[in-house]
Amino acid sequence: MFSIRHAVPALLAAALATAPAAAQGSMEIVVNVPAGRLDVIQDGARVRSYPVSVGTAGHATPTRQASIRRMVWNPSWTPPDAAWARDEEPASPGWGNPMGRVKIHLFEDYYVHGTPARNERLLGQPASHGCIRMRNADVMELAQLVLRADGAAVSDETVQRLVDNPRQTRELALAGRVRVRVEYRLAEADAESVTLHPDVYARARGQYQDRVRQDLSTAGADPAAALEHLAAAGVPSAPVRLPRVAAPEITPAPATALAAMPLAGGLR
């Protein structure tokens, strides 16, 4: 019987084999928590976009910056000392591991990591205990892009062995040339309108309200109308498009060679 997981190594290899190496230090990863999305930015242009699950309201994903200095391929998992993990069992490396095929260290106990197929239906909405979850195919692709941009001394053959063998655990040290920004942006603008994302952590009121108003205004939205919509919609709610009332503060980004890289074989 055909299995998607058996096809992933070959599809990843095909997607990355002909791609030019990213210039060292020119790549950045941006996670927008309300959007449930992780973007890869190359020379100022968004060249990849992946759906992710962030933390639920009770386990909010921190908004901060970090440099990627460590990743683990095919990690094992030990339940943390937390109430939600009290009845969980340790997991060996493999497709069913809660960390998935790769975990990329961000800060403290927070990671970008894969997730078993049974959890993929939750991608794009808050579902984790604070980490950033991705499809296994996506996180393996992302990890290889990070390795290239970092200039890590890891051969393509070594990476391919890790892709091919989900039981082989390997920790890799990086130079920290790839930065990560985890943000909370409720509004994102394009040429014609503003997309208003769900206020998953209810920050449009209380201590964050002034910051949210500024972000809405910067995106070209009417802050009063946007906040009224958020208050009426509640949480969770789907993204909505609002008319743009002012020009957003956007600098056009150049196209890059990496933008032309094919995605991994229809696994999105």
Domain locations in the chain as residue ranges: 26-183, 187-243
Q: Pick the closest to residue 116 from 102, 131, 130, 136 (CA basis).
A: 136
Task: Record the tokens describing residue 228, joined without a space.
Answer: 């009224």
CATH of domain 26-183: 2.40.440.10
- What the block records as the tokens of 127 is 């579902």
Rounded CA separation 189/196 (Å):
9
- Going residue by residue through the chain (268 aa), what tens digit of pLDDT does each one get? 445 565 555 545 544 544 444 445 589 999 999 999 999 999 989 999 999 999 999 999 999 999 999 999 999 988 878 787 787 888 899 999 999 999 999 988 899 999 999 999 999 999 999 999 999 999 999 999 999 999 998 999 999 999 999 999 999 999 999 999 999 998 888 777 888 888 899 888 777 788 888 888 888 878 888 878 777 766 556 677 777 776 555 444 444 444 443 333 333 2
User: What is the chain's percent helix, strand, coil content, to nearest 5?
Assistant: 30, 25, 45
pLDDT of 223 reads 80
pTM over 0.85: no
- The catalytic residues are 113, 131
